[in-house]
Amino acid sequence: MQIPHKIKTLLVLTLILSYVSGTAQKKNDFVVFSGVISNKIEDQIKIYDFQNQVVSEIKLSPEGKFTETLKLKEGFYTLQHEDFSAKLFLEPGSNLSTSFDAKDFKKSLKFSGQGGPVNSYIQKKTSKNWGVAEDLKIRYALSETDFKRMMNKAKASKDSLLLSQVNISENFKNKEKRNINYEYINEMIKYETDPAHYTQNTDFKVSTDFLPELKTFDYDNSEDFYFSNSYKNIVLAHYRKLGKELAERDKHDNYYLSYITAVSSAKNQDIKNILLYEHAKNAIAYISDVQEYYKVFINSSTDETNNKAISQIYQKLLPLSKGNASPKFVGYDNYGGGKVSLDDLKGKYIYIDVWATWCGPCKVEIPHLGKIEEEYKGKNIQFLSISIDKRADIEKWKKMISDKKMGGIQVIADNAWDSKFIQDYFIKGIPRFILIDPQGNIVSSNAPRPSEAKLRDLLNGLNI
């Protein structure tokens, strides 16, 4: 059977249009990002997503040039070169070029291409302070009325800048308009919580009708959550407040568990998954009841990749539960001379302080630890400080022990952060305190700090 010529032509045109459409859809998955960096400091730039995860490492040519095709979702990213960073908005199906001189990053940064107008707007917006006092003590010393006036004026100026932009899509403008409002609300929330710290006025309180916007606020808008960092901060503040209220209601100090319980009540599953994971990837290593925390997480999260990652951490932490045998170290150099192994100290409770000379919070705890040592002198407990300073800094370690008259047994780990004992305890931040019983079993892998009253409660409860 013969097909009429007109029908043949229509079929061919249909196939061509289908091919062109399919090709266009494929292109929409990518952003072509190029640029040149003068006086480059290193041979690469990095792109981070809104969760601060590296999504691309782009190599630079000897001349500082690069071209990369990035398969990314629409949204905000951060370009980083050494210590310099810039906020980017990347949109699949477009191209973006950038250039800057690493010797004068802020003044030389420029954008061009289809994504040029949006990113030039972002650069212009972030380079201004909008009449907002930069000194936080001055900012939070303002009266409620003056603070609101300042922030409303900044909001109006930002709105005006956005309105003046050309060659920017209405879709972006609409989202950015909402973002500017979220920036205002976020600053209002900070004014409610931060002045007590910066002005030392512990009695500070805002008026009851200070922020009426929160009465009808939608905490489940995933589009704005991905687009606006200020919206995300508002959502975080909401669940932190709920977590604090849960802890107060249940009369316990396990805030991490209360927070993740509060997050589990979020209606939007995408937002819930992100908040659960961002908290769990760090907090789970510091929680006193890791099993209960993990139970709440795994029952609330539906992201299989996140669940797998947290489950792997959980399996590493289970051996650190109360009553299990403590990981050991052998032959650490002792400030007092010779070598010390953990087994040498069996027969007494051991309170371990993992610290380093470069760690500010560690040094804050030193005088508190000295008071605890003096208070429990002659009792069935040994105080052990393990430095994770590099071996090259051993003299600095010795000098600080001498200068600060640090007591107890002072040892330095064999391989800094990578020491097996440190890795076995899954220590990701210091100071870290550990309590072991006379038989070498774990009492607490995350014991209270010396500055916390609950450390005395713990020790006295053991009749040391």
Active site residues: 359, 362
Q: What's the rounded Cα separation, in Å, for the pair 408 and 451?
A: 17
Q: State the Cα–Cα distance between residues 184 and 186, nearest whole angstrom.
A: 5
Q: Is the peptide bond before 431 cis (omega within 30 degrees of 0)?
A: yes
The answer to whether the beta carbons of residues 48 and 54 sit under 8 Å apart is yes
CA distances from 392 to 356, 360, 397 (A): 13, 19, 10
Reading across the β-sheet that carries 442-444, which strands appear in turn? 339-340, 332-334, 409-412, 381-387, 349-355, 432-436, 442-444
In the three-class reduction of DSSP (H, G, I as helix; E, B as strand; rest coil), residue 331 is classed as coil
* 3-state DSSP assignment of residue 261: helix
Report the residue count for the chain: 464
Neighbouring residues of 436: CB distance < 8 A, sequence distance ≥ 6: 326, 342, 349, 350, 352, 442, 443
d(CA 417, CA 423): 7
- The structure tokens listed for 339 are 């070598």
CA pair distance 261, 276, nearest whole angstrom = 9
CA atoms lying within 13 Å on the CB side of residue 429:
9
